[in-house]
């Protein structure tokens, strides 16, 4: 059994499948329940709203999944997205392309900083990205002058959020493309295999001649870029507010975990991460619907229930995963 | 601040060969602290007054209390992200109990005692949940404590339906008054530090703690009850977080579940890291953690006293934490 690439292992394959199908099955059940109980739940309007507002979390979760599969963690994505959103809001008055490029460049710089500090200077990912988290929040306040930065409507920047192409919102196209590329890259590219190898066993990957440092810098840079892109979408949706984005990194980590990716690195799936993102989003959406439900008995749930239900759900998934993993190759 | 730097050396490691470096590392944080003190004594108006000391001590007390528990958890090779949420839950529960009119049912003294003991117990139980998830289910500490990080604050808000809950100011007056010229909370902090130092230096538990963090498998083979040791560490960490929550509500005679202990996990982790404890486990430096927390607090105060805007203070703080960790890495 190779410790690096983890090819098909008989016992864990069906278990992994069960894990991923489990999340998918839960998503299907929730959608079915919601569709039967609430009139507008599966209506076009709600689906458009839900998918458009979820796409920025999706982008962040892709980056987080790559970082986690490489054995790291990126706590900085939330505030980096916010920094990118205020930068993009400023630049939106010069056109869509500068705003987009500026936002992504901010994310790229932050990601490169994380990656180099972690890969080259061997600092702990948790501490490095924590510092970037704090600094990016400060920078966002500096750039925005502590005020919401208005975006330009003349340049069509808001169309990044509100535009539709073939009946699908632009953010969904962007996130969908990112998920497709991410899944393909993980499955079929040399980079994807390198990420899994580094996360599985860094020392072995190094001995095999893989460019471990470069792979690590690349995953953090990727995570930063995607956080920047998410920030641009955030700006297009709500204008550049320096106080948004709190706790996004943890939502992204939760989504990745719910999607069945182990935090120890070395394995995972981009499409299951998508399932995880959608599951968390649908749960929140259903709580909103439950509050608006008037025919028959219903619960009135304060906004704090969102966090409780999310936490409970993460708990359930984590315990279930532990159950499934028991007896498998869990002794590391 | 009564102890001297070399006193910290035996805490840093169970072996002897690292003593020289450990001394130097503890010394470095101390030098930074002394430099900050000297700078302030020279350039900050009214710095050398009892009032300034008291302001700084009351601001840092909660962080230090949480950081003590965090240091124990980090010594096991884990991390606890849930401390802020646990502090919010315990503090809010205490406020709810204190706001209750117990009337003739029990004596007022007993009621206050119960209102302090029950939240601490509840906090310890939440820590037990973290510990069980980690030891029983084999969940990664960062994910296991993420559950309560997400849900804990929601649970606290559920207690007050999301509102601020005030109670009669005289009920916890002693916990925000002064004793022998210093805030009671500072004495409480000193007591917690003293007990933690005693535990880490003198007890078998500390040896087991470091063994578990150094190499859990070897510790297990050597007969250390790994699961129990970890469980106790997470319970202690959560109980201390609960204590910080009580200290918080005592200051303003009210509980705001959305605010208590917000970001305190980051401050505590930063204090441990700046204090020279690597986040990889197997080592703990209680005195260094105290120095780390004091240094960060003094840095905050210095920036504030010299009119540096919050946002720049954040950037400076991030830079300095990263630099401290980097220098410690180099010193290894």
More confident residue, B297 or A224: A224
Q: A82: which chain B residues are within 8 Å (Cβ-Cβ)?
A: none
CA distance A107 to B85: 29
pLDDT at residue A98 is higher than 80: yes
Q: How confident is the model at residue A325 (pLDDT cuts 50, 70, 90)?
A: low
CA distance B298 to B56: 7
Q: What distances in angstroms separate CA B158 from CA A79, A285, A305, B153, B197, one per listed residue?
A: 27, 20, 8, 9, 36
A131 touches chain B (CB under 8 A): yes
Q: B322: which chain A residues are within 8 Å (Cβ-Cβ)?
A: 117, 123, 127-128, 131
> Which of A21-25, A109-113, B74-78, B301-305 has the lowest average pLDDT?
A21-25
CA distance A93 to B102: 61
CA distance B277 to A201: 25
Residues in chain A, overall count:
332
Residue B1 pLDDT: 36
CA distance A301 to A288: 8
Q: At what angle do helices A304-325 and B108-135 cross, to 10 degrees?
A: 40
The residue of B318, B319, B323, B327 whose CB has the most chain A CBs within 10 angstroms, and thus the best one to mutate to test that interface, is B318
Q: B255: which chain A residues are within 8 Å (Cβ-Cβ)?
A: none
> Which of A30-44, A301-315, B303-317 has the lowest average pLDDT?
A301-315
A311 touches chain B (CB under 8 A): yes
> Which of A5-19, A187-201, A286-300, B226-240 has the lowest average pLDDT?
A5-19
Instruction: Work out the mean pLDDT of chain A and round it to a whole number.
Output: 81
Q: How confident is the model at residue A161 (pLDDT cuts 50, 70, 90)?
A: confident
For chain B of 332 residues, list the mean pLDDT of each consecutive stretch of 10: 38 43 60 83 80 84 93 90 93 88 68 88 95 87 86 88 81 78 87 91 86 84 87 95 92 86 85 80 85 88 82 82 76 55
Beta strands in chain A (DSSP E): 164-165, 168-169
Residue B54 pLDDT: 84
- Least Cα separation, residue A138 to chain B (angstroms): 4
Distance in angstroms between the alpha carbons of the first and the last residue of chain B: 26
Residue A93 pLDDT: 81
The residues that bridge with A165 in the sheet, in sequence order, are A168
Question: Going from the N-terminus, what domains does chain B have, and what CATH number goes with each?
Answer: 48-331 (1.10.3470)
The residue of A79, A140, A311 whose CB has the most chain B CBs within 10 angstroms, and thus the best one to mutate to test that interface, is A311
Q: B152: which chain A residues are within 8 Å (Cβ-Cβ)?
A: 311
Q: Which of B160, B185, B165, B158 is nearest to B174 (CA)?
A: B185
Residue B219 pLDDT: 84
Among candidates A123, A132, A303 on the partner chain, residue whose Cβ is nearest the Cβ of B326:
A123
pLDDT at residue A123 is higher than 50: yes
CB contact under 8 A, B321 and A302: no
Contacts 24+ apart (CB under 8 A), B323-327: B324/B28, B324/B29, B324/B32, B324/B273, B324/B274, B324/B292, B325/A123, B325/A124, B325/A127, B325/B273, B325/B274, B326/A117, B326/A121, B326/A123, B327/B28
A138 touches chain B (CB under 8 A): yes
> What architecture is the A12-325 domain classified under in CATH?
Orthogonal Bundle (1.10)
Residue B143 pLDDT: 82
Averaged pLDDT for residues A224-234: 93
Averaged pLDDT for residues A24-30: 84
pLDDT at residue A47 is higher than 90: no
Among candidates A124, A131, A310 on the partner chain, residue whose Cβ is nearest the Cβ of B318:
A131
> Which of A31-40, A53-62, B286-295 has the lowest average pLDDT?
A31-40
Q: How confident is the model at residue A56 (pLDDT cuts 50, 70, 90)?
A: confident
Q: How confident is the model at residue A1 (pLDDT cuts 50, 70, 90)?
A: very low
CB contact under 8 A, B79 and A126: yes
Averaged pLDDT for residues A108-132: 89
Q: Please, are residues A4 and A205 in contact by the beta-carbon 8 Å criterion?
A: yes
A301 touches chain B (CB under 8 A): no
The position carrying tokens 């960490």 is B237
Q: Where are the domains of chain A?
A: 12-325
Percent of chain A at pLDDT > 90 equals: 17
Residue B238 pLDDT: 96
Residue A328 pLDDT: 44
Tokens of B25: 């590392």
The Cβ of residue A190 has, within 10 Å, a number of other Cβ atoms equal to 10
Taking the model in full, what pTM does it have?
A: 0.81
CB contact under 8 A, B137 and A322: yes
Q: B88: which chain A residues are within 8 Å (Cβ-Cβ)?
A: none
């Amino acid at each position: 059994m190779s410790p690096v690439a983890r090819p098909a292992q008989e016992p864990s394959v069906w278990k992994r499948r069960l894990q991923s199908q489990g999340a998918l099955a839960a998503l299907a059940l929730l959608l079915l329940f919601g569709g039967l109980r609430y009139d507008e739940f599966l209506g076009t309007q709600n689906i458009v709203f839900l998918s458009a507002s979820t796409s920025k979390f999706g982008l962040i979760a892709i980056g987080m999944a790559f970082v986690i599969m490489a054995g790291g963690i990126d706590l900085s994505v939330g505030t980096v997205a916010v920094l990118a959103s205020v930068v993009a809001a400023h630049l939106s008055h010069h056109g869509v392309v500068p705003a987009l490029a500026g936002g992504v460049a901010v994310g790229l710089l932050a990601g490169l900083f994380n990656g180099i500090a972690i890969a080259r200077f061997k600092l702990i990912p948790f501490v490095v990205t924590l510092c970037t988290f704090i600094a990016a929040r400060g920078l966002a306040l500096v750039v925005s002058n502590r005020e919401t930065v208005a975006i330009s409507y003349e340049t069509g920047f808001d169309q990044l959020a509100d535009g539709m192409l073939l009946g699908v919102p632009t953010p969904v196209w962007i996130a969908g493309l990112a998920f497709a590329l991410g899944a393909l890259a993980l499955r079929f590219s040399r980079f994807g295999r390198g990420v899994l190898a580094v996360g599985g066993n860094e020392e072995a990957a190094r001995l095999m001649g893989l460019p471990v440092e470069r792979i690590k810098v690349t995953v953090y840079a990727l995570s930063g870029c995607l956080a920047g892109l998410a920030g641009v979408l955030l700006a297009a949706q709500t204008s550049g507010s320096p106080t948004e984005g709190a706790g996004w990194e943890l939502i992204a980590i939760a989504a990745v975990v719910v999607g069945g990716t182990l935090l120890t690195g070395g394995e995972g799936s981009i499409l299951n991460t998508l399932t995880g993102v959608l599951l968390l989003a649908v749960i929140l959406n259903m709580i909103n619907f439950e509050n608006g439900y008037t025919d028959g008995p219903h619960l009135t749930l304060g906004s704090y229930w969102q966090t409780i239900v999310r936490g409970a759900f993460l708990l359930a998934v984590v315990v279930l995963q532990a159950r499934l993993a028991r007896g498998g190759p869990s002794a590391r | 601040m009564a102890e001297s730097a070399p006193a910290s050396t035996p805490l840093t490691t169970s072996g002897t060969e690292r003593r020289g470096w450990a001394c130097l590392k503890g010394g470095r944080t101390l030098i930074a602290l002394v430099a900050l003190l000297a700078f302030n004594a020279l350039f900050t108006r009214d710095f050398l007054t009892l009032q300034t000391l008291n302001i700084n001590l009351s601001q840092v007390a909660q962080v230090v209390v949480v950081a003590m528990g965090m240091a124990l958890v980090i010594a096991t090779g884990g991390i606890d992200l849930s401390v802020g949420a646990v502090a919010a839950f315990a503090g809010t529960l205490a406020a709810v109990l204190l706001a209750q009119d117990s009337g003739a049912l029990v004596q007022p003294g007993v009621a206050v005692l119960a209102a302090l003991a029950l939240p601490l117990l509840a906090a310890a139980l939440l820590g037990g949940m973290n510990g069980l998830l980690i030891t029983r289910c084999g969940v990664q500490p960062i994910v296991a404590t993420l559950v309560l990080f997400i849900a804990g604050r929601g649970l606290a808000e559920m207690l007050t339906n999301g509102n601020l809950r005030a109670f009669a100011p005289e009920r916890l007056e002693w916990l925000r008054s002064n004793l022998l010229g210093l805030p009671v909370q500072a004495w409480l902090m000193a007591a917690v530090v003293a007990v933690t130092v005693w535990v880490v230096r003198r007890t078998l538990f500390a040896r087991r703690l470091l063994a578990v963090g150094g190499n859990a498998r070897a510790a297990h083979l050597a007969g250390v009850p790994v699961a129990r040791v970890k469980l106790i560490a997470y319970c202690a960490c959560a109980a201390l977080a609960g204590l910080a929550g009580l200290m918080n509500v005592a200051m303003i005679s009210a509980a705001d579940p959305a605010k208590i202990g917000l970001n305190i996990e980051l401050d505590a982790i930063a204090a441990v890291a700046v204090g020279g404890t690597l986040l990889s486990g197997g080592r703990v430096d209680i005195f260094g953690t105290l120095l780390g927390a004091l240094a960060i607090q003094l840095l905050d105060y210095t920036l504030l006293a010299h009119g540096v805007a919050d946002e720049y203070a954040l950037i400076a703080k991030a830079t300095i934490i990263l630099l401290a960790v980097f220098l410690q890495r180099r010193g290894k």
